Chains A and B, each alone.
Chain A
Amino acid sequence: MSEIIILFIGAIAAGLMGSLTGLGGGVIIIPLLTLGFGVPMHYAIGASLVSVIGTSSGAAVAFVKEGFTNMRIGMFLEIATTMGAVVGALVSGFLNPNTIGIIFASILILTVLLNLRGKPDHQEELIKGSLEHKLKLYGTFPDKDGIKSYAARNSVPGFLMMVFAGAMSGLLGIGSGALKVLAMDNMMKLPFKVSTTTSNFMIGVTAVAGALIYFQRGQIIPVIAAPVLIGVVVGSFIGSKTLMVSKTKKLKTFFAIVITLLSIYMMYNGVAKNFQ
């Protein structure tokens, strides 16, 4: 039973750190489980996917009610992320844990770089008769000076980027929120608040598409996945409450260095074939 308590405490830390860095719990939980506790890679991915569903659904409640989440844009892009996730989860079944470790490390470094860049905040007008008009990829959100309206752009490249984000989620057991925000911010030019909350909203469904495959492959182990789930949900909750006070530039840089070191360590262990 003590192992379960250690897993639980580790998961709280991962959830807290994932929430403070804005990277999500999965990014921390995979290295912790595999390299820290010696859990086989595919079991770690299965547990991480479950925790990703928990945090996404938990956080989405508040955002959906505040009215920032665009459910239509979310639903449309979920076609892309779920397709990607199914492919990613199937491919993961054929890959060696060390190969997955190396891919994980590369995506982790990419995520850090994406997170460090300044976030653009767009607000585009709707073009009548465009694809975005036909698919209703526009909306409004509450702001301090009233209701703001916006519309999406470049939906086709955005959609393709989402297929990739989904594939990484199914392959590595992460939410790939950073990749989703990249597609919605930089490509589709959505307002920052809309892209972050809608991305979070989609993460749950994307993770389910992968989890259905891991579960039936016997890779979601109840005594690993459940303490991780509960721990990450608790950790992210604590993190979301402290987010406002601690989001300074210095802290962001500190976390970026920690995550970079972590990905180098993952890369090293992948090359040295240390993953189970």
Chain B
Amino acid sequence: MRTRPFTDVDLNRSVGNLLRLGVILSVATSLIGFIKLFTEGFKMPRKYNLLEMGDSSEKVWGSFWNSLIKGEGMAIIQLGILLLILTPLVRIVFALIGYLKEKDYTYVVISMIVLTIMIVSFLTGYAH
């Protein structure tokens, strides 16, 4: 069991490892998605604007979940992108836990403000 107090050095190490894991997982998932997409015989449309994902968040999420359940390449690539987006968010949660262990309450509050802004961003995106 570790008895010494949790310090910034521990926090730095865990954040570093987390970021690396997130990027590797995301790139690996996207690559698997591409291989799947290729086996499905995907053809890029002649114009990029034909690739639209739906104009409302409900359609975007709806088609994502539908396609993911079917195990389609497109949704697997999207999952990889979502993993990447999630990485810095988990990083903030890690830092928050770290500051709690260090009993640095000023930074517990500051981390919570940043997380709140992220939630606001998600919800304003969702309300679109």
* B residues near A223, Cβ cutoff 8 Å: 37, 42, 44, 51, 74, 77
Binding site secondary structure of chain B: helix
* A residues near B128, Cβ cutoff 8 Å: 93, 213, 216-217
Within the complex, which residue of B19, B57, B85 is in contact with A208, where a contact is CB–CB below 8 Å?
Answer: B85
Is the CB–CB distance between A224 and B114 below 8 Å?
Answer: no
Is the CB–CB distance between A79 and B110 below 8 Å?
Answer: yes
Given that A218-B60, A222-B74, A224-B51 are known contacts, is A54 also in contact with B118, CB under 8 Å in the complex?
Answer: no
CB within 8 Å of A: which B42-73 residues: 42, 44, 47-49, 51-57, 59-61
Is the CB–CB distance between B53 and A54 below 8 Å?
Answer: no
* B residues near A79, Cβ cutoff 8 Å: 110, 113-114, 117
A72 within 8 A of B: yes
* A residues near B22, Cβ cutoff 8 Å: 57
A120 within 8 A of B: no
A142–B89 alpha-carbon span in the complex (Å): 28
A123–B50 alpha-carbon span in the complex (Å): 53
Number of interface residues of A (CB under 8 A): 64
Given that A1-B44, A220-B81, A230-B30 are known contacts, is A215 also in contact with B60, CB under 8 Å in the complex?
Answer: yes
Is the CB–CB distance between A85 and B121 below 8 Å?
Answer: yes
A223–B50 alpha-carbon span in the complex (Å): 12
Is the CB–CB distance between B81 and A72 below 8 Å?
Answer: no
A-B contact count (CB 8 A): 187
Number of interface residues of B (CB under 8 A): 64
Is the CB–CB distance between A60 and B19 below 8 Å?
Answer: yes
Of all chain B residues, the one with the shortest Cβ separation from A53 is B84
* B residues near A57, Cβ cutoff 8 Å: 19-20, 22-23, 84, 87-88
Q: What is B's interface to A at a CB cutoff of 8 Å?
A: 8, 11-13, 15-17, 19-20, 22-23, 26-27, 30-31, 33-34, 37-38, 42, 44, 47-49, 51-57, 59-61, 74, 77-78, 80-82, 84-85, 87-89, 91-92, 95, 104, 106-107, 110-111, 113-114, 117-118, 120-122, 124-126, 128
- Can you report 5 residue pairs joining A to B where beta carbons are below 8 Å apart? A57-B84, A78-B114, A86-B120, A136-B106, A227-B34
Known: A205-B88, A222-B74, A230-B30. 13 other contacts (CB 8 A): A40-B49, A43-B48, A61-B20, A64-B12, A72-B107, A89-B125, A204-B87, A205-B118, A215-B82, A216-B125, A218-B60, A225-B81, A229-B84
